[in-house]
Amino acid sequence: MFNLILSILLFVFFPQKDLETGIKKYLSERLQGYSKWNYSILTNLNNLARKNLILEIDKERELQIKGNYGYIPIKEKGIIKSSSTFITVKLNLYKEVLCATRKISAGSELNPVDFELIEKEIST
């Protein structure tokens, strides 16, 4: 019972921190296919918190990635009505990719030494 009351109080007084922690966890679950990633939140979470709504990540909808922006689905739950929205994050996504070690001309023979595996940002 005490834990429940404490959780509610923490959410009421520190909703932004709780949401930021949830965002980090959500992204780490969804971005496992990348060798490395980082993000910055572009949506003003204070504005969302001022609406006196309960905010939670909508895990039934998928993260949308377009270029180097990610759109995290959010449920806004109020006393009378609920709605859906997105939190926008700027993403830097990295994967290991093959890169040429020399300039390769058309028709030239390719060798394995002509390529190396390098971690590159692929989100731009």
In a 3-state reduction of DSSP, which class is residue 52?
A: coil
Distance of CA 58 to the CA centre of its chain: 13
In this structure, is the dihedral angle defined by the CA atoms of residues 10, 60, 96 and 66, taken in order, positive or negative? negative
108 domain residue, yes or no: no
Specify if 55 maps to a domain.
yes
Q: At what angle do helices 15-30 and 2-13 cross, to 10 degrees?
A: 100
pLDDT of res. 10: 47
Would you say residue 58 lies in a domain? yes
Q: What's this model's pTM, rounded to 2 decimal places?
A: 0.75
Question: How would residue 4 be classed by pLDDT, with cut points 50, 70 and 90?
Answer: very low
Question: Is residue 36 one of the residues assigned to a domain?
Answer: yes
- Is residue 68 domain-resident? yes
Q: Is it the case that residue 116 has pLDDT exceeding 60?
A: yes
- State residue 25's pLDDT score: 94
Q: Where are the beta strands (DSSP E) in 1-124?
A: 36-41, 54-57, 64-66, 69-77, 82-100, 115-121
Q: How do residues 40-51 score in pLDDT, each as one tens digit?
A: 999 988 777 666
Assigned domain for 56 exists: yes
Range of the structural domain that residue 83 is part of: 2-92
Q: How many domains in the chain? A: 1
Looking at residue 20, what DSSP letter applies? H
73 belongs to a structural domain:
yes
Q: Is residue 124 part of a domain?
A: no
The tens digit of pLDDT for each residue in 54-102 reads: 888 998 999 999 999 999 999 988 777 888 889 999 999 999 999 999 9
